[in-house]
């Protein structure tokens, strides 16, 4: 039986040059045992991974900034596998763009109200700088989400927020979206890849992180499932 969905990979590959929040927490893996040194008949390569939890395409759980909030391991699968909407702001995106509620209202005039229990991705096009880490980081100047926009998403009972930048907040603004969104028990996926390949609505996303005990962040394999 054929799989009824077309699959879109929305995850950046982790490499030592992956853009990161502080510019110095890139991904590294070391070979602890190589094929030539393996004594068994079947030769294995064994690696050790070193990285910060919040690197690459990753999820922020409420406990990231809310004491006693849900950890990565506490996130319910029914919220991590969800219908998805993509709001495209790429035509106007620049380092000073703040995504205001009007963007949602304009989207809903065409596509209908955002469904409760859904995951919403803001596509800014900032991922075009992914292979240029300093430009992507840009001294923390990149498209971000306004507090009132996050409030409107919560009114719509959206459970997850995704964006193709390092964060939905710029530090200069005081992290209002992180505080509000994670404080409401919802999750955030940062550094989304390939959102340009997604339709506005009518599909699902799976955001499946490493299930780490007491984890505040974790790398995630994010995929889009578009009905054929």
pLDDT, tens only, 26-78: 789 899 999 999 999 999 999 999 999 999 999 999 999 999 999 999 999 99
Does the pLDDT of residue 1 top 80, yes or no?
no
- pLDDT tier at 170, thresholds 50, 70, 90: very high
**Exposed (0-12), middle (13-18) or buried (19+): which is 158, by Cβ within 10 Å?**
buried
Tell me what pLDDT residue 132 has.
Answer: 95
Three-class secondary structure of residue 13 per DSSP: coil
pTM of the model: 0.96
Q: How far apart are the first and last CA of the chain?
A: 13
- Quick check: helix, strand or coil at residue 158? coil
Q: What is the DSSP-derived secondary structure letter of residue 22?
A: S
pLDDT for residue 2: 82
Question: Please, what is the angle between helix 176-183 and helix 147-155, to 10°?
Answer: 20
Domain boundaries, the chain: 13-50, 58-227
**Mean pLDDT taken over the chain:** 96
58-227 architecture in CATH? Answer: 3-Layer(bba) Sandwich (3.50)
Percent of the chain with pLDDT over 70: 99
3-state helix, strand, coil in the chain (%, to 5): 25, 25, 45
């Amino acid at each position: 039986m054929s799989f009824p969905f077309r699959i879109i990979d929305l995850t950046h590959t982790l490499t030592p040059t992956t853009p990161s929040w502080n510019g110095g927490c890139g991904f590294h893996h070391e070979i602890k045992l190589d094929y030539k040194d393996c004594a068994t008949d079947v030769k294995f390569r064994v690696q050790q991974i070193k990285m910060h939890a919040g690197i690459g395409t990753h999820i922020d759980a409420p406990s990231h900034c809310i004491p006693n909030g849900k950890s990565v391991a506490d996130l319910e699968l029914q919220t991590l596998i969800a219908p998805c909407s993509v709001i495209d702001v790429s035509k106007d995106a620049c380092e000073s763009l703040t995504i205001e509620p009007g963007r949602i209202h304009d989207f809903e005039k065409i596509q209908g109200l955002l469904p409760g229990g859904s995951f919403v991705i803001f596509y800014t096009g900032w991922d075009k700088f992914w292979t240029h880490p300093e430009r992507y980081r840009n001294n923390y100047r990149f498209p971000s989400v306004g507090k009132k926009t996050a409030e409107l998403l919560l009114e719509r009972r959206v459970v997850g927020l995704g964006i193709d930048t390092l964060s939905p907040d710029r530090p200069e603004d005081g992290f209002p979206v992180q505080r509000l969104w994670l404080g409401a028990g919802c999750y955030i996926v940062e550094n989304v890849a390939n959102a340009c390949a997604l339709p506005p609505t009518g599909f699902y996303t799976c955001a499946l992180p490493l299930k780490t005990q007491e984890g505040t962040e974790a790398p995630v394999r994010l995929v889009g499932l578009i009905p054929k």
